Amino acid sequence: MIAYEIERWTRSGKATLVAAAAVLLVLAMLPALANGLLIDKLTTLFIYILLAVMWNLLAGYAGLVSVGQQAFFGVGGYLALRLVDAGMTPYLALVVGAVGAGIVAIPISSFALRLKGGEFAIAMWVIAEALRIVVMFDPLVQGETGTSLLALNALDPDLRRNLTYWLGLGSLALILSVTYWLLRSRIGAAAQAIRDDEEAAASIGIDVMRIKQIIFVLAAFGCALAGTIWLASAITFLPRTNFGVQWTVFMLFMVLVGGLRTFEGPIIGAVIFFLLQTAFGGLGVWYLTGLGVIAVCFALYLPEGLWGLWRQRIGIDLLSVGVLFRPSGDRPTP
Partner 1 sequence: MLDALIQGILLGGYYAILAAGLSLMFGVVRFINLAHGDLAILGAYLVLFAVEVLGLSPWVAVAAVLPVMALLGWVLQATLFARTIKGGFLLPLLTTFGLGAVLQNGMFGLFGSDAKSLGNHIGNLSWASWQLPFGITLGQLPVITFAVAVAVLGSLQLVLSFSKLGRAIRATASDPEAAELSGIDARAVHRAAAAIATALAGLAGAFLAMRALISPYAGPTQLIFAFEAVVIGGIGSLWGTLIGGIVLGVAQSFGATISAQGFQLAGHLVFLGVLAARLYLAHGRNHGGWRAALRLPRRAPSAQIPSTVTEGQP
Applying CB under 8 A, the residues found at the interface with partner 1 are 59, 65, 67, 111, 114-119, 121-123, 125-127, 129-130, 133-134, 136-137, 143, 198-199, 202, 207-210, 245, 249, 252-253, 256, 260, 285-286, 288-289, 291-296, 298-300, 303
Residue 135 sits at φ, ψ, to 5 deg, of: -60, -35
Beta carbon nearer to partner 1, 163 or 252:
252
Cβ atoms 138, 228 nearer than 8 A: no
Q: How far is the CB of 144 from partner 1 (least distance, A)?
A: 9
Q: What is the CA radius of gyration of the chain?
A: 20
Q: How far is the CB of 263 from partner 1 (least distance, A)?
A: 18
- Positive or negative, the CA dihedral 307, 321, 70, 227 is negative
Interacting residues of 100 by C-beta distance below 8 A, sequence separation 6+ = 75, 76, 79, 83, 224
Q: How far is the CB of 134 from partner 1 (least distance, A)?
A: 7
Q: H or E segment at 130?
A: helix 117-137
Cβ atoms 232, 170 nearer than 8 A: no
Beta carbon nearer to partner 1, 288 or 324:
288
Strands 4-7 vs 236-237: parallel, antiparallel or unpaired: unpaired
Beta carbon nearer to partner 1, 91 or 273:
273
Beta carbon nearer to partner 1, 7 or 129:
129
Beta carbon nearer to partner 1, 47 or 251:
251
Beta carbon nearer to partner 1, 121 or 226:
121
Q: How far is the CB of 286 from partner 1 (least distance, A)?
A: 6
One-letter amino acid at 22 equals A
Beta carbon nearer to partner 1, 85 or 129:
129
- Provide the total of helices (H) and of strands (E) in the chain, helices listed first: 14, 4
Q: How far is the CB of 113 from partner 1 (least distance, A)?
A: 8
Beta carbon nearer to partner 1, 86 or 285:
285
User: HSE of 92 in the Cβ direction (CA atoms, 13 Å)?
Assistant: 7
Q: How far is the CB of 71 from partner 1 (least distance, A)?
A: 12
3-state secondary structure 294-334: HHHHHHHHCCCHHHHHHHHHCCCCCCCCCCEEEECCCCCCC
Cα(306)–Cα(298) distance, integer angstroms: 9
Cα(97)–Cα(120) distance, integer angstroms: 25
Cα(45)–Cα(271) distance, integer angstroms: 7
Q: How far is the CB of 257 from partner 1 (least distance, A)?
A: 10
